[in-house]
Structure 1
Amino acid sequence: MNATLVAVVLSLFSAVAYAAAAVAQERLASRTSDSGVVRLLGSGAWWWSVTLNGSAALLHVAALKYGPLTLVQPLGALTLVAAVPLGARVAGRRVSAVEWRGTALTLAGLAALLVTASGPAPDDVLSVPEALAVAGITAAVIGALSRPGTRPGLRHATASGLASGVASALTQTVTVAATDRSGPLLSAQVIGVALLVAAFAAGGLLLAQTAYRGGLGAPLAVVTLANPVAAAIIGLALLGEGLRGGAAGLLLALAGATVAARGVVTLSRPVPEPAQLPTKEPEEHPIAAELSEEEHPVAAVLALNPQSASYEPVLIPRQPAPAHLTPL
């Protein structure tokens, strides 16, 4: 089977698993205002989301073995596409027309990116100094975005996307280096970069959990956009990856990225609630308004008015109780 096709299929399964994990994290975040690590460790729902994220990460690692970052990372946008119907199903509603339009735009943009990003299996890796430099710069940016006191939301989502993107780039280095038969399986390079991968993956997971306290749509959209941007920059600048087709391929990739971004933004918009008809307080009949409390009607019937030859409501006033039933 073609290596590019294998990478695409594995990325699809990975996106579905990531989407299920995001929905589980959002439901957990909506039930609690405290996302502390100790509290999360005692939650079964949290461990379920961790399991889903771990499965998705393994599929993602396998995809990076067969495809370059510029191909695999944009397919991560399918996480948002898969999360839309999953989130709607969990919320007990139908997918809206806006969500379908956003899905179509995202898929169209990804199709254009796949045409230009399809390339041979990766064979270049980050050196230890390059990996440390990338990790240091990313950690500084994440620290600035998620500094203490920052309101949970899109800043944490951006930091989560950057952490996940860098973790993917470092994962590719570990995968290629570990499977290179010309060197030892567990070299110092593999072990050191693997520790960085674990740190950024865990950080991205916790940052996403914090971001989802503000809802699923917009934070997941930002995570989905920041992730491939960070990974693509590393792939193009440090791993020697490129786009097919020369200048025309670059223009097609930019157009596809624009369309996909538009689709992601469309999917991030809040779903409008079903319109509710305004309620009107019942008005008191004019005849009833003139009656005292003792005379207030107990029923209303329709009677034929001989003058207008139409049926009109007639109020039956309250009758006084018989004398033999009058309380002493």
Structure 2
Amino acid sequence: MTLAVLAALVAAFAFALSTTLHQRAAKQQQRRRALDLRLLSRLLRTRLWQLGWVPDVVGVCAHALALRYGPLTLVQPLLASGLFMAILIEAGWSRQPVHRRDLAATLVGTAGLVTFLAAADPRAGVTEPGASAWWWVAAGTVTTVAGCLLAARRAGDAARGTLLGIAAGVLYGVSAALLKAVAARWHGDPLALALDPRSWALLVVALLGVQVNQAAFQHGRLAAPLVALTLTEPVTGVLVGATAFRETLSLTGVRLPLVVGAVVALVVGVRLGASRATQDATPVLRR
């Protein structure tokens, strides 16, 4: 169990460092619109963005190690600590003190996330949802993401980063659900994997998530999109799991008010991150 905790914290730090590097690389790009479809192609040519994938790989390996020796309900809340780590890394890199509102957003939101996962106590359901379930997931995803993108076009800078972060979190959460379905159908046949429509859906949703994520990093301080992304992704996974995968949540007795309080804390955390409108003091290069 100790190894799982240490590995999860290493993964959280690695993901936080990767996120910070990607955010700084994205902010060095010229802002053109809420969702710049050419942003990712420009980032692929920048060394800082490429460097961000090194800790990302380390994080994936550490995450896998943590899940091998520890339960999911222990590892995933620990990974949420990466949100706080990322804000500290950004502050240290910029040589500026951490803003109180950033700290409040991180602490309140993360506390809500941990409480939600612990109180809801999700349990496994079906391994492969039916076609109708996937259509409902697709409808909910398109509606939520499209709504966030449309609202982001007219929002202020910090709120725009939050809205794009929410959209990216939803896409990443759905990507995790698709990955779970693809992994369940994997029996060592690469051709079957390539012909599985879920594999192509996973590729499209994941790439769109990366695109929206990088766009979110261009707006406001790191806390705004990162709080939204970090909190929305696991919540989306839980919602898809409870509906499409028919996983059960414990909402009886004292657990129900705890879950409600956790959801309120999540909303407050996202709101605090969005209301922090001050720009990052890091110089932005225009290209």
Tell me what 2:98 maps to: 95
Match of 1:112 among 102, 111, 115: 115
- 1:218 paired to 2:224: yes
Distance 1:254 1:136, change over 3 A: closer
Tell me what 1:23 maps to: 20
**Structure showing the higher strand proportion among its residues:** 1
Q: CA RMSD in A?
A: 3.8
Match of 1:158 among 145, 151, 166: 166
1:28 maps to a residue whose letter is A
Q: Give the greater-gyration-radius structure (CA).
A: 1
Secondary structure at 1:25's aligned position in 2?
A: helix
- 1:40 paired to 2:37: no
Deviation of 1:268 after TM superposition, in Å, equals 5.1
- 1:237 paired to 2:237: no
Deviation of 1:61 after TM superposition, in Å, equals 6.5
Percent identity over the alignment? 25
Gaps of 5+ in 2: 155-159, 280-287
State the Cα deviation string for residues 173-211 of structure 1 (Å, max 9, x = none): 334444xxxxx2348479543332232222111111111
Distance 1:132 1:59 in 2: 34
State the Cα deviation string for residues 53-86 of structure 1 (Å, max 9, x = none): 4554565567778756x87666654332221111
- Equivalent pair of 1:29/1:210 in contact (CA under 8 Å): yes
State the Cα deviation string for residues 132-182 of structure 1 (Å, max 9, x = none): 6534652454345436x936644322221110111112223334444xxxx
Count, aligned residues: 263
Distance 1:81 1:116, change over 3 A: same
Distance 1:13 1:104, change over 3 A: same
State the Cα deviation string for residues 12-60 of structure 1 (Å, max 9, x = none): 4443333222211221122221562332221111222344445545655
- Equivalent pair of 1:19/1:83 in contact (CA under 8 Å): yes
Tell me what 2:258 maps to: 252
The 5-angstrom pairing of residues 1-328 of structure 1 reads 1=1, 6=4, 11-33=8-30, 36=38, 37-56=40-59, 77-118=80-121, 122=124, 124-127=126-129, 129=131, 130-131=133-134, 134-135=137-138, 137-139=140-142, 141-143=144-146, 145-146=148-149, 150=153, 153-178=161-186, 184-186=187-189, 188=192, 191-215=196-220, 216-244=222-250, 246-267=252-273, 269-270=275-276
Distance 1:10 1:195, change over 3 A: farther
Deviation of 1:128 after TM superposition, in Å, equals 6.1
Distance 1:112 1:142, change over 3 A: closer
Deviation of 1:245 after TM superposition, in Å, equals 6.3
Distance 2:251 2:142 in 1: 35
Distance 1:31 1:245, change over 3 A: closer
- Equivalent pair of 1:12/1:75 in contact (CA under 8 Å): yes
- Equivalent pair of 1:74/1:110 in contact (CA under 8 Å): yes
1:157 maps to a residue whose letter is G
Higher mean C-alpha deviation, range 79-88 or range 124-133 = 124-133
Distance 1:154 1:109 in 2: 17
- Equivalent pair of 1:131/1:170 in contact (CA under 8 Å): no
- Equivalent pair of 1:106/1:263 in contact (CA under 8 Å): yes
1:86 maps to a residue whose letter is I
- Equivalent pair of 1:88/1:95 in contact (CA under 8 Å): yes
Higher mean C-alpha deviation, range 207-216 or range 103-112 = 103-112
